[in-house]
Amino acid sequence: MASVIWGLATSHVPPIGAAMDSGRTQDPYWKPLFDGYAPARKWMADHQPDVAVIVYNDHANFVGLDMVPAFAIGAADSYAVADEGRGRRPVPPVAGAPELSEHLIRELIDDGFDITTCSRLDVDHGLTVPLSVYCPEPGDAWPCAVVPLLVNVIQYPQPTAARCLALGKALGRAIRSYPRDTKVAVFGTGGMSHQLAGARAGLINTRFDRWFLDAIEHDPASLAALSREEYIAEAGTEGIELIMWLVMRGALSDDIVRVHETYHVPASNTAAGLALFEELGG
């Protein structure tokens, strides 16, 4: 049977990927961020999964605003890197795990979640930057296959935080019911606090971010109890991406240990966080 071996929560700020792609990780502006990643990267390199389920949002690079599913899962053999307007990132295409994808889609639908199936999907920075946080030098291929799980955090009404935590719990059950001996890591991406436009553009709420980093481990139910409006009020219009961390947390059991945490302000105009958890319950 498959097992969940670890969960990673990480920001997916596009300039993080750009800093890696252009060799600027040791520049004074970026060095503190990447120094913070180093212990997590070393640990993950020693605990490689067969498949990563990456929970992220498309930024209107493949999923247009004319049709926005609440939840979708990629079921393709591979995923091209999206051109977001300045050419594709110089990273490998993403190998899929279609048999696991199809299993998860079926199990989640049977568990009461209406999942959109994506037989073709180009993946943008929401997915490729977390992969680069995990593996900064992939060479010709990423070290694991990927199941993309998309969440609508762009267009109102977004799924509630409670629904995302419930999806994560169902996802964990679905992974563990997969009959093949497969080691799976689950990524929750996006956030932390930031707002890109409007009167509060540039908002960063360190107090809320620090509370969230503690609660994602010890009290995820308190995060699930927050409304959309509370997330936006505290973390900014784009800070609602944090609900995707709850999908990751739900897929883990209560028997976890925090391997590493880091928090940095700012990465571009965003508060960037990372939290890595080892699953002890399997």
47 is catalytic: no
pLDDT single digits (tens) 118-129: 999 999 999 999
pLDDT given for residue 227 in this prediction:
98
pLDDT band per the 50, 70, 90 thresholds, residue 250: very high
Catalytic residue selected from 12, 103, 194, 260: 194
pLDDT single digits (tens) 79-105: 999 999 989 999 999 999 999 999 999
Q: Which domains does the chain have, with CATH numbers?
A: 3-279 (3.40.830.10)
Q: Which helix (H) or strand (E) holds 206?
A: helix 206-218
- Name 186's bridge partners: 7, 53
**Preceding omega of 192 cis (within 30 degrees of 0):** yes
Catalytic residue selected from 125, 218, 260, 264: 125
- Name 150's bridge partners: 56, 72
Q: Is the pLDDT of residue 271 over 90?
A: yes
SS3 185: strand
Q: Which helix (H) or strand (E) holds 183?
A: strand 183-189
pLDDT single digits (tens) 196-244: 999 999 999 999 999 999 999 999 999 999 999 999 999 999 999 999 9
125 is catalytic: yes
Question: 187 — phi, psi (to 5°)?
Answer: -105, 135
Residue 86 CB neighbour total at 10 angstroms: 8
pLDDT given for residue 86 in this prediction:
87
- Name 276's bridge partners: 8, 260
Q: Is the pLDDT of residue 152 over 90?
A: yes
pLDDT given for residue 282 in this prediction:
72
Structure tokens at 201: 């553009």
Closest alpha carbon to 277 in 70, 10, 1: 10
Q: Tokens 């209107």 sit at which residue?
A: 60
Q: Please state the separation of Cα 81 from the chain's center in Å.
A: 16
Rounded to the nearest integer, the mean pLDDT of the chain is 97
pLDDT single digits (tens) 52-70: 999 999 999 999 889 999 9
% residues pLDDT > 70 (the chain):
100
DSSP 88: B
